[in-house]
Amino acid sequence: MSEQAAAPPVAGHGAATLTSVTVDAYNAELRDKDGFLGDRASKRAFWAILDEWRDRLRDLGDDDPLGEGATEDISKRKLEKLLQDERPEAAALVHGVIEEFAQELAGVTRRFLKLKGWKDTQRITVGGGMSGSRVGQLAIARASLLLKAEALGVELLPITHAPDEAALIGAAHLAPSWIFAGHDSLLAVDIGGTNIRVGLVELNMKKKDLSAARVAGLEVWTHADEEPSREAAVKRMAGMLTKMVALAKSEKRALAPFIGIACPGIIEEDGSIDRGGQNLPGNWESSRFNLPRALAEHLPEIDGHATAVLMHNDAVVQGLSEIPNMQDVERWGVLTIGTGLGNARFTNRG
């Protein structure tokens, strides 16, 4: 890897005005006396509900259809199989957990809709790992029905792209228009509390938009298993990006000198993180740390050019992947079910 100074960002990091949308609000932290409301509709909340139901069965002396293993070791695929189980109580257990979680998701969504920045939201796409499973899709659909029954004028839909790919494709929507003139691919990074994903995104601009963009190369690192230092995480990301540059070169792609980054938290214009990065390895909210700048020290050159880096909130970037599917509404949002509940609201421009 060669050290270089990154090109200036093409727009302010965390910008409210992007090419296709205005970001009306993001990273809202709703609270009540028990803490963050979003935690009630997080990935951990779902597994906590399942664990509670398993405890109830044991207390009643009933057989647990999930066996003796710990709840955190149960896969979503196993739950999906139980939905088809010929034992009514086994299927009912999963349906019950889905219903309880859907009630929480609907309740949290109601609170978002009361916020000024979320007024008159017409559609919400729900992303994160659960959106890619049948269990998660049923929970989203049930929450949507609950909200529709209240005539709130909003529907919930699972995000279109695979959980590992949505934010990487969304990062393409951060790029300036000049990127699309002479390049067919770009690099993207999706940073989460559990995983860091680096991707090579093929733009597929034949339709003059990004509706056919796809991830042509992907590497996922589960950093939570290794608990690296902040500096080690930056170096690992740089190494992953270098591999994607090499992949693009081997495939003779016209790779753009641009990297879009999705990162948790409130992203300041200079690329620092004001708050919301508590689940990342090390202290990313330090006034002495700037991820785009730190990453620039290790960035590979792309076709001899300095690389522009643009960073925005991870829920915002994941939501941007849905722009082609939101042209029939004006005001829409995204909720991402992950370590916490990411959120962003958009208004289409033009």
Query: Over 80: is that where the pLDDT of 144 sits?
Result: yes
Residue 199 · residue 335 · CB < 8 Å: no
Please check whether residue 276 lies inside any domain of the structure: yes
Model confidence pLDDT, tens digit, residues 277-331: 877 888 888 888 889 988 888 877 787 788 889 999 999 999 999 999 999 999 9
Tens digit of pLDDT for each residue in 52-71? 999 998 888 888 888 888 99
pLDDT digits (tens, 9 = 90+) for 17-46: 998 999 999 999 888 777 777 788 888 899
Reduced 3-state DSSP string for 125-167? EEEEHHHHCHHHHHHHHHHHHHHHHCCCCCEEEECCCCCCCHH
Per-residue model confidence as pLDDT tens digits over 157-193: 999 999 999 999 999 999 988 888 889 999 999 998 8
Nearest to 305 by CA among 240, 254, 270: 254
Residue 170 in any domain: the answer is: yes
257 belongs to a structural domain: yes
- State the total domains in the chain: 1
The pLDDT confidence band at residue 1, using thresholds 50, 70 and 90, is very low
- 153 occurs within a structural domain: no
Instruction: Show the domain range for 252.
Output: 162-313
Three-state secondary-structure class, residue 224 = helix
pLDDT grade for 348, boundaries at 50, 70 and 90: very high
Per-residue pLDDT at 211 exceeds 50: yes
Contact criterion met (CB below 8 Å) for 111 and 18: no
Q: Is residue 239 part of a domain?
A: yes
Q: For residue 108, which of 46, 54, 51 has the smallest C-alpha distance?
A: 46
Q: What is the mean pLDDT of the chain?
A: 90
Tokens at 294, concatenated: 């730190």
Does 105 have pLDDT greater than 90?
yes
Give the pLDDT score at 134: 93
Q: Is residue 179 part of a domain?
A: yes
CATH number of the domain at 188, please. Answer: 3.30.420.40
92 within a domain of the structure (yes/no): no
pLDDT at position 196, please?
Answer: 94
pTM of the model: 0.90
Average pLDDT over residues 265-275: 91
